[in-house]
Amino acid sequence: MPKESVVSKVLNWIVIIVAILIGRYSGISMLIPIIGASVVWVILRKVAPRAKQVWVPAIAVQAGHASWMIFGFLLLRELNANIADPIFLVGGLVWLYMRPRIGPLVLLGVFQAWGIAYNGYIFQSVEVSSPEHKALLVHIIFRVIALGAMAHAFYASRREARLSDSPPNLSLKADGPDGPRH
């Protein structure tokens, strides 16, 4: 294993410190989606086939985010139009898990990018340290992480396909790793 560079160590410490500060600021708002993502991550690491392991982080982060939204609806006992967000997100994640291709990536990517823009717009207008401000910060962070995890999985799957001398299966209509589509 190559020795870690000084720059890498410094960057790791910066990320850790920023994560601690964000966690302290946002409190329970950050804890719930982290627990949800961790549970999904552990389960998928054990049950997902090897070919789908590269997608586990992207799916787990977004599933944790969706679990937090669903928890909020249950806690508040208030259903409104925002319930469409976790439903749409879970549907996209199921599609991504079943058929890890460009279609669900584009759908989830657009969903998350739009969410960042919308949450960012509201974020700048709410009072700092308010529960809304903290919750919006967590939404934005999880959406950014989701986009990064999906991009990483996409490029990692392409790299794996190149190394195995088979084309990456990321088309909209191509057969999946489990055989032809029916």
Residue reference for tokens 């787990």 = 60
Phi, psi of 167 (to 5 degrees): -70, 150
With 60 as the cut, is the pLDDT of residue 47 above it?
yes
Q: Which of 9-13, 94-98, 136-140, 171-175 bottoms out in mean pLDDT, i.e. has the lowest?
A: 171-175
**In contact, 180 and 173? CB cutoff 8 Å:** no
Cα torsion 131, 132, 136, 139 to 10°: value is: 70
pLDDT averaged over every residue in the chain: 88
Q: Which of 22-36, 122-136, 139-153 bottoms out in mean pLDDT, i.e. has the lowest?
A: 22-36
Q: What is the share, in percent, of the chain residues with pLDDT greater than 70? A: 88
Over residues 143-171, mean pLDDT = 84
What digits encode the pLDDT tens for the residues 96-127? 999 999 999 999 999 999 999 999 999 999 99
With 80 as the cut, is the pLDDT of residue 147 above it?
yes
What digits encode the pLDDT tens for the residues 53-100? 999 999 999 999 999 999 989 988 888 888 999 999 999 999 999 999
What is residue 182's predicted lDDT score, i.e. its pLDDT? 46
pTM over 0.85: no
Most confident of 1-5, 34-38, 81-85: 34-38
What is residue 76's predicted lDDT score, i.e. its pLDDT? 85
Tokens of 8: 């890498």
What is residue 117's predicted lDDT score, i.e. its pLDDT? 98
With 60 as the cut, is the pLDDT of residue 1 above it?
no
Over residues 172-176, mean pLDDT = 51
What is residue 173's predicted lDDT score, i.e. its pLDDT? 55
